Amino acid sequence: MGERLRLGVIFGGQSVEHEVSVYSAQHVAEAAAERYEVVLIGVTKTGVWLTPDESKQQLARDEADFKKSLQSPGEAGVLARTDALSVLKEIDVAFPLIHGVFGEDGTLQGLLELAGLPYVGAGVAASAIGMDKALMKRILKQAGLNVADHIVVRSTQYRAGGDEIARAVEASIGYPAFVKPANGGSSVGISKVRSREDLGRALCLGFRHDRKVLVETAISAREIECAVLGNDDPQPSPLGEIRYTGEFYDYAAKYLDTDTELIVPADVDAETAQRIQGLAVEGYRALDCAGMGRMDFFLTDDGEVYIDEINTLPGFGPVSMYPLLWQQAGLSYGDLIEKLVQLGLERHGERVDG
C-alpha cells in the first residue's frame, strides 16, 4: 500500500461559529484517520494558528459538544506565530472546516491558493459570494431563481436616517420580516421583527455582526434542505426537513435544543422533491460552487419554492444535515470525506496558473 495522503484539517477560527467548527473537526479527524494521515491545524478565536501538537492537545479536552474552544492567551492575528503557518508545507490536501468569516468567506481559500495547496470545497469567489447573503441573492435572482423579497441596509445609511430606512422597509417589505447580517452563519444576529420599534433594535443587533444587513420578508413555509456534491457535474441528495419549536431556526435551535428535528428523508412528494433538487443544482452552478454545498429552501403550502441560501461549508458532524442526507443516499460519513478530498484534488489538478 502506498503512503497515505496527509490531510490537514483546519478548524476553529474567529467567527461566532468557532465552537461549531471545533465540533465538526473532531468528528472529521476521527473518521478520516482510517484513510489519511490527519494533521490537525487549529486557529484560535483571536486568529492565532496552533501547531499540530497544540491543536491535538486542545481538541482532546473533555468538554461538551459546541462548548469547546481553542485558546491562545496574549497573542492575536495570523502573523502572531508565523512559524505555525509552516505546517502547510507538510500536508498534501487541506480540509477547511472554519465556518463563518475568515474561513468560509474566501479568505482561507485565498491563503490555500497562494500556498498552492489542494483543498476541499468551493473556491475563493464562490465562498465569498456564498457567505455574503446580499450578493448571493442578487446572483441567484439574476439566474432566474426565486428568492424572498428583501432590501439591503448599510450601517452608514441607518446612522444617516433610521426613519427613512423604516419607511423603505414598510413600503417594500412590510411586517413580519427578518433582519439578518449579510455575512454571518448559524443564525447569529438574526431577529424577527413585527413593528418599527422591533426593526430598530434588530438593525442595531445585525450591525454588531456586519456593516451590511438584509431586511427580508418572512415566509410562512417548511424549511427544506438539499445537499449538493461535485464539481462540474454536481449531484443532489435526497431532501431533508428542519422542524423546531422556537420562533425561527436560531443558534439554540440548531445546536442546543433537543426538540429540534432533522427529518431525513423529508416527506415531500416526488415531483416537488425533483423540482427542489433541480433548483439546488441550478443554484450551485449559478454561484460556481465546487466540492460541496447545502442549499436551503422554503416550501410554502401552495407549492412555491424559494432558495433561502447556500452554505458552502456546512456543519460536518456525523449527525449534521449535510452528511445525514448523503447517508440517506448510501454514502457513509467516511466515504463522503474521501469523495470530497478527491474532488478537491481533481479541482486543483485543473488549476491554471497565470
Cα 251 to Cα 265: distance, rounded to the nearest angstrom: 23
Q: Which residues of 282-317 are buried (b: 16+ CB within 10 A; e: fewer)?
A: bbbebbebbbbbbbbbbbeeeeebbbbbbbbbbbbb
Task: Name the catalytic one among 291, 315, 317, 344.
Answer: 315
186 in catalytic set: yes
Task: Name the catalytic one among 183, 311, 322, 338.
Answer: 311
Residues counted in the chain: 354
Task: Name the catalytic one among 36, 249, 255, 333.
Answer: 255
Which cell goes with 157?
A: 445609511
Task: Name the catalytic one among 15, 17, 121, 240.
Answer: 17
Domain ranges of the chain: 6-119, 130-145+220-349, 150-217
Q: Note down pLDDT in tens along the chain; length 354 residues.
A: 468 999 999 999 998 889 999 999 999 999 999 999 999 999 999 999 999 999 999 999 989 888 899 987 678 888 888 888 999 999 999 999 999 889 999 999 999 999 999 999 999 999 999 999 999 999 999 999 999 999 999 999 888 877 889 999 999 999 999 999 998 755 678 999 999 888 989 999 999 888 999 999 999 999 999 999 999 999 999 999 998 766 655 555 455 556 778 999 999 999 999 999 999 999 999 999 999 999 999 999 999 999 999 999 999 998 899 999 999 999 999 999 999 999 999 999 987 665
Sheet containing 37-43: order of strands = 37-43, 6-12, 93-96
Q: Which residues of 141-172 are buried (b: 16+ CB within 10 A; e: fewer)?
A: eeeebebbebbbbbbeebeeebeebbeebeee
Task: Name the catalytic one among 186, 187, 191, 237.
Answer: 186
pLDDT for the residue numbered 124: 97
255 in catalytic set: yes
pLDDT for the residue numbered 257: 53
Summarize the chain as % helix, strand, coil (round to 5): 40, 20, 40
pLDDT for the residue numbered 271: 98
Cβ–Cβ contacts within 10 Å for residue 222, how many?
16
Cα 126 to Cα 113: distance, rounded to the nearest angstrom: 14
Which cell goes with 140?
A: 441567484
309 in catalytic set: yes
Which of 229, 235, 198 has its CA nearest to residue 215?
198
Task: List all residues 6 or more positions away from 257 whose beta carbon is below 8 Å from its beta carbon.
Answer: 244, 245, 246
pLDDT for the residue numbered 255: 52
Q: How is domain 150-217 classified at the CATH fold level?
A: Dna Ligase; domain 1 (3.30.1490)
Task: Name the catalytic one among 121, 294, 338, 344.
Answer: 294
282 in catalytic set: no
Task: Name the catalytic one among 241, 250, 309, 338.
Answer: 309
Q: How is domain 6-119 classified at the CATH fold level?
A: Rossmann fold (3.40.50)
Cβ–Cβ contacts within 10 Å for residue 278, how many?
12
pTM of the model: 0.92
Cα 87 to Cα 61: distance, rounded to the nearest angstrom: 22
Cα 91 to Cα 39: distance, rounded to the nearest angstrom: 7
Which cell goes with 269?
A: 412528494
The count of C-alpha atoms lying within 13 angstroms of the C-alpha of 75, restricted to the half-sphere facing its C-beta, is: 15
Cβ–Cβ contacts within 10 Å for residue 281, how many?
19
146 in catalytic set: no
Task: Name the catalytic one among 105, 216, 296, 308.
Answer: 296
CATH number for domain 130-145+220-349, candidates 3.90.70.10, 3.10.129.10, 3.40.50.150, 3.30.470.20: 3.30.470.20
Which of 84, 136, 96 has its CA nearest to residue 12?
96
351 in catalytic set: no
Map 65-117 to HEC letters. Answer: CCCCCCCCCCCCCCCCCHHHHHHHHHCCEEEECCCCCCCCCCHHHHHHHHCCC
